[in-house]
Amino acid sequence: MYRKVPQFVETHLEEIIDSWKARMKDEHGEKFFHIMPEEVIERTSRDFAELVVSSLTEDSAKYDEKLHNFSERIVRLGWSITLVMKAIENFSDTLYDLLRKAGILDDGNVAEYFDILNNWIKPLRQEVVEMYSRTWERTVNLQKIALQELSASLIPVFDKISVMPLVGTIDTERAKLIMENLLEGVVRHRAEVVLLDITGVPVVDTMVAHHIIQAADAVRLVGARCMLVGIRPEIAQTIVALGISLEDFTTTSTLQRGMQEALALTNRKIVEVDEQ
């Protein structure tokens, strides 16, 4: 039995793959074969079948390595985990049907067969699921880091004037980071005026407004002034509808106008050079 099954898989590879494909087509329709190029399916199913053979014939260290490589490749192909699980299940069902038809399986040795089956299906499933979750965790972590890198740095533009451009969604964690960077930067750059640019903030709700007001208050405490710039027309309207009072702020529609005001506040202006 332990020799017959891998032997059967090896000699009947084409038949197994064909009827497995037919089964997948039955359940998922043509859609399944649309999202995947023919040769990828062909190669992957062949690799999968070889993996089955290897699980029954080779020693476990070698098999583990093959299994690892295989699941890594599957994950990289970007197929959904549900589909891959279904594919594995269908493959074993197909194999069962064909073995039965070939007379290798009968009522007498079915139990033995399931034993073999369990030994390769279980670790395979586990490995695939683990690989998927590891990949996801990694992606999420990387994105978190990328998001933090994108967060809020205070840029000194002129003497006494700094700008903090805010881009993207502001959640509680980022709001804290913004506040820290803002205060630290104001002190370090000896800024007297700070321009908070919200051009890149998609939604200003009461929480975001609340954080901005708090940041401005804190900036005032360290002896500087905070201006809110880059207020788009639609954001201005929602702020009014929400009934948020920004009266303590100087606000402008663009960074450019804010900069002019900031220069005026520090008794300076930009003049054109008289060419002679």
Partner 1 sequence: MAYRSSVDIHTEWDIVAARQLGRNEAKKVGFGTVDQARITTAISELARNIYLYAGAGKIEIERLNEDGLFGIAIIASDEGPGIPDVRKVMEDGYSTSGGLGAGMPGVKRLMDDFRVDTERGKGTKITAVKWLR
Choice between 114 and 136, CB closer to partner 1: 136
Shortest Å distance, C-beta 198 to partner 1: 13
Only segment of 64-72, 123-131, 231-239, 246-254 that touches partner 1 (CB under 8 A) = 231-239
Would you call 135 exposed, middle or buried from its count of C-beta atoms within 10 A (0-12, 13-18, 19+)?
Answer: middle
**142, 145, 203, 264: which one binds partner 1 (CB under 8 A):** 203
Contact 150, 177 (CB under 8 A): no
**61, 111, 146, 241: which one binds partner 1 (CB under 8 A):** 241
Q: Is 234 in the site for partner 1 (CB under 8 A)?
A: yes
Choice between 17 and 235, CB closer to partner 1: 235
**43, 190, 210, 268: which one binds partner 1 (CB under 8 A):** 210
Dist CA 21 CA 3 (whole Å): 25
274 phi and psi, to 5 degrees? -75, 115
Task: Give Cβ neighbours of residue 87 (< 8 Å, ≥ 6 apart).
Answer: 20, 24
Shortest Å distance, C-beta 214 to partner 1: 10
Only segment of 54-62, 149-157, 182-190, 235-243 that touches partner 1 (CB under 8 A) = 235-243
Q: Is 217 in the site for partner 1 (CB under 8 A)?
A: no
Per the structure block, which two tokens stand in for 156? 């000194």
DSSP letter for each residue of 175-206: HHHHHHHHHHHHHHTT-SEEEEEEEE-S---H
Choice between 150 and 242, CB closer to partner 1: 242
Q: Is 205 in the site for partner 1 (CB under 8 A)?
A: yes
For the chain, the helix, strand and coil percentages under 3-state DSSP, each to the nearest 5:
65, 10, 25
The footprint of partner 1 on this chain (CB under 8 A) covers a number of residues equal to: 21
Residue carrying structure tokens 């007297």: 192
Residues near partner 1 (CB under 8 A) are: 169, 171-172, 202-207, 209-210, 213, 233-235, 237-238, 241-244
